Amino acid sequence: MAPGRLVDEEVAWPLPTVSADQYSYEGAPRNVAYIQSLHYPKELRPKSYEIQGTHPDSQILFVDVKILEATGKLPYLGDVFIRGQRIEAIGHVPQKGILLKDPKVRVFHGKGRTLMPGLGDAHAHFSWNGSNLDRLGDIALEEHVLLTARSARCYLDSGYTMCFGAAAAKDRLDIVIRDAINAGDIPGPRYLANAKEIARTDGELVAGITAFADGPEQFEKVVSHHIDLGADQVKLSMSGEEITETRSAQDCYYTDEETAACARTAHNRGTRLCAHARARDSVKMCVKHEVDVIYHASFIDEEGMDMLEVKRNRHVVAPGINWLIATLYEAEAFGYPQSKAEKVGYKKELETAIRGLREMHRRGIVVLPGGDYGFAWTPHGTYSRDLAHFKNLLGFTAHEAIIASTFGVASLFMRSHEMGQLKEGYFADCILVDGNPLEDVEVLQDHDKLNIILINGRVHKAARSEYLPPSMATHGNNAIVPEDFPEVKATMQREI
């Protein structure tokens, strides 16, 4: 194991030459340009999955909505027309008068509410049980499949339409749920699936959910095996985690040769890697060997920051910051008091991470929200706390936090040409929010304010009152609400 701990109590940010003012900013979202400059090699493109079931003739018209495109433009009032899976017109809808009178067009009256793209999570664990960590590995397969499906639905209920899998508790949990979502069999966000995280035998973080390898040859085999299973990306568990008390977040378990072997194997097969990399040396190894997605990066040092800045069009960082905050301040009710969390190092890690992440954002490194929901004190359904943390702690504006979660995660999917923004021709994955998320990003945490949720041009959530014209909404109990367009249903049985 490399002795990679930060010796100094303090990291170098803010740098002496940078005044604190440079971290406070209220202008146009800076990270639109950062995300646009991301450039993964073409051969690493994951499959362009499509969700089945949307009737091609389905027509939905949103009128009088405040459109938050997630392109960087400020919200504006207008209408949005959706045909089949995709947005056909935005802002000004031609022939709106005719569409309003057409009984085949489903009309939703926004009344000034905000229509924005569905959110995205860059580090999702559908198979985490929201409960006792030590028992995660003991859940029987059948129950675990159901639990994983339930989390997928919970993401969509929470306004999330894109999730990037960051490890599953069993080999194929993520993969079968992804396939079931895409087949239209179960509700859930668009998903890029992972398999188990891969650790060295001396580096396991949670019992019973890890695949093991030691030495470059074994790593090659396990990475290949996960791709054979159907994983869209492969997870390396490179550093420790303070809660284990035996494997420090400042220790990196992988060797250079092992990391290089993983990268070579995955990239040769067109697959990307993501890594649990809290330790200083694990972050540097990720950059050196092109491990595409860097999770946490808490203990990055100046050299690592410079390396990452040079390669900022090749990597994204997803800190999973809510885990640190909740473990430190909110775990007492679950038997993990703050004094204990501070003692093992979470306070120091959180402070160090915040400073590093603010500096990354200042330097144009893409930092994305999401991460590690599904533990007892980071329960499923609370995912958009990340956006508030980005705003309150990491120097993001609310608009930048939203851009990161929408446009940013669509770029992580390598599909920002058709997802993550409200634009003509893009998939109709969107949420109607009762509030202004640019002024109050916390509103996204209130499920009752997520009035309508659409994925792939289909209504996942809308109260009955949304289906009624405004004149009938108050006394419309007798109104006849026509059915949505029927789902195009395929058989559940597929080739194995």
Query: 237 vs 265, which CB is nearer to Zn ion?
Result: 237
Residue 459 in tokens = 């209504």
Q: Are 34 and 235 in contact (CB under 8 A)?
A: no
Query: 121 vs 429, which CB is nearer to Zn ion?
Result: 121
Name every residue whose Cβ is closer than 8 Å to that of residue 15 and which is 6 or more positions away in sequence.
359
Residue 461 in tokens = 């959530």
DSSP 468: S
Distances in Å between the Cα of 493 and the Cα atoms of 47, 180, 489 are: 21, 11, 12
Measured CA to CA, the distance from residue 9 to residue 243 in angstroms comes to 20
Hey, which residues does 274 pair with through a beta bridge? Answer: 235, 293
Query: 78 vs 189, which CB is nearer to Zn ion?
Result: 189
Tell me the closest approach of the beta carbon of residue 260 to Zn ion, in angstroms.
Answer: 23
Tell me the closest approach of the beta carbon of residue 168 to Zn ion, in angstroms.
Answer: 11
Measured CA to CA, the distance from residue 375 to residue 136 in angstroms comes to 10
Mutual angle of helices 256-268 and 280-288, in 10-degree steps: 40
Query: 23 vs 334, which CB is nearer to Zn ion?
Result: 334
Query: 242 vs 372, which CB is nearer to Zn ion?
Result: 372
Tell me the closest approach of the beta carbon of residue 370 to Zn ion, in angstroms.
Answer: 10
Tell me the closest approach of the beta carbon of residue 372 to Zn ion, in angstroms.
Answer: 4
Name the H helices within 335-397.
338-344, 346-362, 385-393
Tell me the closest approach of the beta carbon of residue 121 to Zn ion, in angstroms.
Answer: 11
Measured CA to CA, the distance from residue 191 to residue 329 in angstroms comes to 31
Burial 87-98 (b: 16+ CB within 10 A, else e): bbbbeebeeeee
3-state secondary structure of 475: coil
**Phi, psi of 251, deg, nearest 5:** -105, 135
Tell me the closest approach of the beta carbon of residue 336 to Zn ion, in angstroms.
Answer: 17
Query: 259 vs 322, which CB is nearer to Zn ion?
Result: 322
Tell me the closest approach of the beta carbon of residue 496 to Zn ion, in angstroms.
Answer: 30
Query: 166 vs 419, which CB is nearer to Zn ion?
Result: 166
Nearest to 317 by CA among 271, 252, 374, 363: 363
- Residues engaged in binding Zn ion (CB under 5 A): 166, 372
Measured CA to CA, the distance from residue 231 to residue 30 in angstroms comes to 33
3-state secondary structure of 61: strand
Name every residue whose Cβ is closer than 8 Å to that of residue 97 and which is 6 or more positions away in sequence.
none
**Phi, psi of 253, deg, nearest 5:** -90, -25
Tell me the closest approach of the beta carbon of residue 460 to Zn ion, in angstroms.
Answer: 26
Number of Cβ within 10 Å of residue 435's Cβ equals 17
Name the H helices within 189-238.
216-229
Query: 62 vs 346, which CB is nearer to Zn ion?
Result: 346
Query: 204 vs 372, which CB is nearer to Zn ion?
Result: 372
Tell me the closest approach of the beta carbon of residue 371 to Zn ion, in angstroms.
Answer: 6
DSSP 93: -
Tell me the closest approach of the beta carbon of residue 391 to Zn ion, in angstroms.
Answer: 22
Tell me the closest approach of the beta carbon of residue 277 to Zn ion, in angstroms.
Answer: 11
Query: 373 vs 390, which CB is nearer to Zn ion?
Result: 373
Which residue sits closest to Zn ion, CB atoms considered? Answer: 372
Query: 195 vs 428, which CB is nearer to Zn ion?
Result: 195
3-state secondary structure of 330: coil
